[in-house]
A and B are shown apart, each in its own frame.
Chain A
Amino acid sequence: MEFFHTIVAILESTIRVSVPLIFAALAGLFTERAGVFDIGLEGKMLGAAFAAGAVAAVTGSVLMGLLAAILISVLLSLVHGYASITQRGSQIVSGVAINFIVAGSTVILGEAWFRQGGRTPALGADARFQTVTFPFADAVKDVPIFGPIYTNLLSGHFILTYVAFLLVPFSWWVLYRTRFGLRLRAVGENPGAVDTAGISVIWLRYRAVICCGILCGFAGAYLSLAMSAGFVKGMTAGKGYIALAALIFAKWRPFNIMMACLLFGFLDALAIRLQGNPLPFIGQVPVQLMQALPYILTVILLAGFIGKAIPPKAGGIPYVKER
């Protein structure tokens, strides 16, 4: 039974750490399926986390915090869009630039405004997301097997957690069952086909980039308003890159993305759990190695275990009408 509880606990924290990955990877899905590669997921998420933390701290409203996160993230997306769609610049350079600008400016602004070493003030209960408790969760928590699963695993998460998981089928529906999705996927494969069909390639790609911004906004708000009580410098800690890896690992498909994010989340949760605990046969493993484990596995998985991941054909290439 002890073992069962450990498993439930690990799975619970798997879900908790997977949520920002799912938001960010779905964000990447929308823009990359439209042919705009985005290495700036990390920066957008960080900027959103800072905006959420700062605005929630000042206004005391979690909703204002979330809106600020989305606003900032969409603005950063538009910068990326302007550089890579309108000006036809390098999408990689633009994304990297955004990551650096955000990493630096969040600390500077945070220090200038709040004077807490780049942090935003710790948030009270009203300025944070609250967990949702399912009906009868308390009543059934002692039922064997079912109880812990219902009470700990399914119930008791933040509202954003449920939003993230519902966004997976929703994104699938948008991409594969709506006109917008059909055109968005087309523009990532052959923008010429979209252009000759009388649809604006530019406007379509901007809309995709805005979708990405909104989702990164959620990811950032989750970090500073749900998982933590405020913004801490560099709090995304590479999650944007892991989300990018998950996106590739999932071959740019919504349900695969959810599975990939859960896998990476699981590795992360496992690493946290195993810290300081000796492993059978191996003994004490350095903390640093456990922390590096998800990243090492990411490299191994991406290098050899997923077969060929074929990106959208027009990805990374600015659209120029041929002459």
Chain B
Amino acid sequence: MNDIAIELRGIDKSFGLVHANKNINLTVRKGTIHGIIGENGAGKSTLMSILYGFYQADSGDIVVDGNKVTIKDPNAAIASGIGMVHQHFMLVENFTVLENVMLGAEDSQILNTSISKARVELKRLEREYALEVNPDALIEELPVGLQQRVEILKALYRKADILILDEPTGVLTPPEADHLFRILGQLKEQGKTIIFITHKLREIMAITDEVSVMRRGEMVATRHTKETSVEELAELMVGRRVLLRVDKGAANPGAVKLSVENLTVRDSRGVTMVDNVAFTLRAGEIVGIAGVAGNGQSELLEAISGIRRAVSGSVLLNGEPVDVTGYADPGGLRNRGLAHVPEDRHHVGLVLAFEEAENGILGYHHDKRYLNGVFLDTKAIEADAEEKIKKYDIRPPNPRLKTANFSGGNQQKIVLAREMERGPDVLIIGQPTRGVDVGAIEFIHKRIIEMRDQGKAVLLVSVELDEIRALSDRIIVMFAGRVVGERGPDATEGELGLLMAGVEGRKEAAE
């Protein structure tokens, strides 16, 4: 009895018509790392939010350490020894580490005494768990890896015995993720219980003792990690067999379609985000740009697609110059054969309040075939949408449905269908599978390879290294706005990881 840290019995939760958690049972043993895996929208985060007191379950019991508890708010969760490291860090960026750790756990109205006590306690925690961080550093000046460490320290400062980590590796470089895994291992040795939520199978296999799989709001299975396999887990997640490797033949590169030279781009604050970048993209190949989020990939895509004005540099599209430092605009570039699937489909790629069919023609709405004189030809638009729905298996197959009501994967398919079906010469894709479930990922990857095999030039930006490695014929690594290396498709993860962390690149640049 006493070796069970948390037991959930029959947890049920609905948001309006959405049944997010259906009769969930879960047992987490003390001193273990318990993985929870499932696709986006499977209900993992809802379940953990219930455990942390963000939401109340409609029915069901939570048993912590053998005692039935009611967790009505985060305070109650903290009191029961539950701590949470959120996917988006809950830190105040212009506060120091110390202030963040202390926030909400101060001893008295006046801060002085709390500060000195927190400082001593933080030192002790740092020593005990090897979690060094300068207590007086401002959060905004720390790299993400350290920010996450502050989140862990916050939980430990509140004497958490059970630590929930929600998609903790999404923002980390591979070396940082490895470091996190070592920290988690250490915490486990000290007797802490860890619940680790992710949609990445590899991480589950690497560090968990047990794993529970969620699918569509239900807990479908729990396995000892040693006795399961990646294939079995993937099948449990999706509910059918999935192909984890992408099948693709060798690339057959042709003429140069896009060439970028000395491109420099600054963001709205005037910080140089893309620093003198050059590369070429040929017909019939996929060039992947790898890098940790925020190293200039987004700004690079925006400059090439005409959304953001570059400071200097030149871009040739089909051999013709593009006015990237002046008046290039996405519409004009589209007409010249450059299609763009933006990274952020919610804000750039789609108008969520529009119907599916309307989003299906955005950017091409001046095209004669959608027009009837000066009016939109709604019949033609709807027919066009229905064709795409069929071809891209967009569900539900209803062109009149509001786009916000489609799942992430289907929204992405709407954007892809719009841009791919035009047969552009150059296709630029940012984060093709962010927030997209495993089943749809497989489909999207296949379509991207098909585009390449039709002789299109594809530029792919993704923070998912696995995706870059699976699809790309050449891999360019960006760090701090610069291209720090180029590798073939057979580059190892470790090699790319070091480049992404800026370790190898400096050496290479110096040589």
With contact pairs A313-B93, A321-B54 given, residues A193 and B103 touching in the complex (Cβ less than 8 Å): yes
Complex-state Cα separation, A313 to B105, whole angstroms: 23
Complex-state Cα separation, A168 to B105, whole angstroms: 27
Complex-state Cα separation, A183 to B109, whole angstroms: 11
Chain B residues with CB under 8 Å of A194's CB are 103-104
Question: Which B73-94 residues sit within 8 Å CB-CB of chain A?
Answer: 73-75, 77-78, 84, 86, 88, 90-94
Report the minimal beta-carbon distance from A176 to chain B, rounded to whole angstroms: 8
Chain B residues with CB under 8 Å of A177's CB are 110-112
With contact pairs A177-B111, A197-B74, A321-B54 given, residues A186 and B95 touching in the complex (Cβ less than 8 Å): yes
Chain B residues with CB under 8 Å of A195's CB are 74, 90
Residue pair B54, A186 in contact (C-beta under 8 Å):
no
Residue pair A197, B104 in contact (C-beta under 8 Å):
yes
Which of A181, A189, A321, A323 is the one whose CB lies under 8 Å from B92? A189
Question: Which B26-43 residues sit within 8 Å CB-CB of chain A?
Answer: none
Residue pair B109, A178 in contact (C-beta under 8 Å):
yes
Report the minimal beta-carbon distance from A203 to chain B, rounded to whole angstroms: 12
With contact pairs A189-B95, A197-B74 given, residues A182 and B103 touching in the complex (Cβ less than 8 Å): yes
Question: Which B403-417 residues sit within 8 Å CB-CB of chain A?
Answer: none
Report the minimal beta-carbon distance from B92 to chain A, rounded to whole angstroms: 5
Residue pair A182, B90 in contact (C-beta under 8 Å):
no
Which of A178, A192, A196 is the one whose CB lies under 8 Å from B111? A178
Interface string of A224-236 (1 = CB under 8 A from B): 0000000000000
Question: Which A183-206 residues sit within 8 Å CB-CB of chain B?
Answer: 183, 185-186, 189-190, 192-199
Question: Which B86-122 residues sit within 8 Å CB-CB of chain A?
Answer: 86, 88, 90-95, 99-100, 102-106, 108-112, 114
Which of A197, A313, A321 is the one whose CB lies under 8 Å from B103? A197
Residue pair B105, A197 in contact (C-beta under 8 Å):
yes
Complex-state Cα separation, A192 to B92, whole angstroms: 9
Complex-state Cα separation, A180 to B99, whole angstroms: 13
Which of A179, A190, A199 is the one whose CB lies under 8 Å from B108? A179
Which of A178, A189, A198 is the one whose CB lies under 8 Å from B104? A198
Residue pair A198, B90 in contact (C-beta under 8 Å):
no
Residue pair A186, B109 in contact (C-beta under 8 Å):
no
Chain B residues with CB under 8 Å of A189's CB are 92-95
With contact pairs A192-B90, A193-B92 given, residues A186 and B103 touching in the complex (Cβ less than 8 Å): yes
Residue pair A190, B111 in contact (C-beta under 8 Å):
no
Report the minimal beta-carbon distance from A314 to chain B, rounded to whole angstroms: 10
Q: Does B15 contact A (CB under 8 A)?
A: yes
Chain A residues with CB under 8 Å of B95's CB are 185-186, 189
Q: How many residue-residue contacts, CB under 8 A, span A and B? A: 68
Chain B residues with CB under 8 Å of A196's CB are 52, 74, 84, 86, 90
With contact pairs A194-B103, A313-B93 given, residues A179 and B109 touching in the complex (Cβ less than 8 Å): yes
Interface string of A153-181 (1 = CB under 8 A from B): 00000000000000000000000011111
Complex-state Cα separation, A140 to B92, whole angstroms: 53
Report the minimal beta-carbon distance from B217 to chain A, rounded to whole angstroms: 14
Complex-state Cα separation, A189 to B93, whole angstroms: 8
Report the minimal beta-carbon distance from B480 to chain A, rounded to whole angstroms: 23
Residue pair B91, A183 in contact (C-beta under 8 Å):
no
Chain B residues with CB under 8 Å of A193's CB are 90-92, 100, 103
Residue pair B111, A179 in contact (C-beta under 8 Å):
yes
Chain B residues with CB under 8 Å of A199's CB are 103-104
Report the minimal beta-carbon distance from A321 to chain B, rounded to whole angstroms: 6
Question: Which B128-187 residues sit within 8 Å CB-CB of chain A?
Answer: 154
Report the minimal beta-carbon distance from B491 to chain A, rounded to whole angstroms: 37
Complex-state Cα separation, A182 to B112, whole angstroms: 12
Chain A residues with CB under 8 Å of B75's CB are 198
Which of A182, A185, A192, A321 is the one whose CB lies under 8 Å from B106? A182
Nearest-neighbor residue (CB-CB) of B84 within chain A: A196
Q: Which of A177, A182, A183 has the most CB of B within 10 A?
A: A182
Complex-state Cα separation, A177 to B114, whole angstroms: 11
Nearest-neighbor residue (CB-CB) of A189 within chain B: B92
Complex-state Cα separation, A190 to B150, whole angstroms: 15
Which of B15, B88, B103, B104 is the one whose CB lies under 8 Å from A323? B15
With contact pairs A179-B114, A189-B95, A193-B90 given, residues A198 and B108 touching in the complex (Cβ less than 8 Å): no
Residue pair B110, A178 in contact (C-beta under 8 Å):
yes
Residue pair A183, B104 in contact (C-beta under 8 Å):
yes
Nearest-neighbor residue (CB-CB) of B74 within chain A: A198
Report the minimal beta-carbon distance from A310 to chain B, rounded to whole angstroms: 9
Complex-state Cα separation, A180 to B104, whole angstroms: 10
Interface string of A310-323 (1 = CB under 8 A from B): 00010000000101
Residue pair A186, B15 in contact (C-beta under 8 Å):
no
Complex-state Cα separation, A195 to B110, whole angstroms: 21
Residue pair A198, B110 in contact (C-beta under 8 Å):
no
Chain B residues with CB under 8 Å of A178's CB are 109-111
Report the minimal beta-carbon distance from B138 to chain A, rounded to whole angstroms: 12
Which of B88, B110, B154 is the one whose CB lies under 8 Å from A179? B110
Chain A residues with CB under 8 Å of B88's CB are 192
With contact pairs A193-B103, A197-B74, A323-B15 given, residues A186 and B112 touching in the complex (Cβ less than 8 Å): no
Report the minimal beta-carbon distance from A190 to chain B, rounded to whole angstroms: 5
Complex-state Cα separation, A180 to B114, whole angstroms: 13
Report the minimal beta-carbon distance from B110 to chain A, rounded to whole angstroms: 6
Report the minimal beta-carbon distance from B205 to chain A, rounded to whole angstroms: 30
Report the minimal beta-carbon distance from A290 to chain B, rounded to whole angstroms: 38
Complex-state Cα separation, A178 to B52, whole angstroms: 27
Report the minimal beta-carbon distance from A191 to chain B, rounded to whole angstroms: 10
Residue pair B91, A190 in contact (C-beta under 8 Å):
yes
Report the minimal beta-carbon distance from A164 to chain B, rounded to whole angstroms: 24
Complex-state Cα separation, A192 to B75, whole angstroms: 14
Chain B residues with CB under 8 Å of A190's CB are 90-93
Complex-state Cα separation, A192 to B103, whole angstroms: 12
Complex-state Cα separation, A171 to B77, whole angstroms: 34
Complex-state Cα separation, A198 to B53, whole angstroms: 9
Report the minimal beta-carbon distance from A309 to chain B, rounded to whole angstroms: 14
Complex-state Cα separation, A196 to B109, whole angstroms: 20
Report the minimal beta-carbon distance from B77 to chain A, rounded to whole angstroms: 8
Chain B residues with CB under 8 Å of A186's CB are 92, 95, 103
Chain A residues with CB under 8 Å of B109's CB are 178-180
Chain A residues with CB under 8 Å of B114's CB are 179
Report the minimal beta-carbon distance from A207 to chain B, rounded to whole angstroms: 13
Chain A residues with CB under 8 Å of B90's CB are 190, 192-193, 195-197
8 tightest Cβ-Cβ pairs between the two chains A and B: A197-B104, A198-B75, A193-B90, A198-B74, A196-B90, A179-B106, A189-B92, A186-B92
A-B contacts, 6 listed (Cβ < 8 Å): A179-B106, A182-B102, A192-B90, A198-B74, A198-B78, A313-B93
Having A179-B109, A190-B90, A197-B105, one finds 12 other A-B pairs with CB under 8 Å, namely A177-B110, A177-B111, A177-B112, A180-B109, A181-B111, A192-B88, A192-B90, A193-B90, A193-B91, A198-B74, A198-B75, A313-B93
Q: Which residues of B contact A (CB under 8 A)?
A: 15, 52, 54, 73-75, 77-78, 84, 86, 88, 90-95, 99-100, 102-106, 108-112, 114, 154
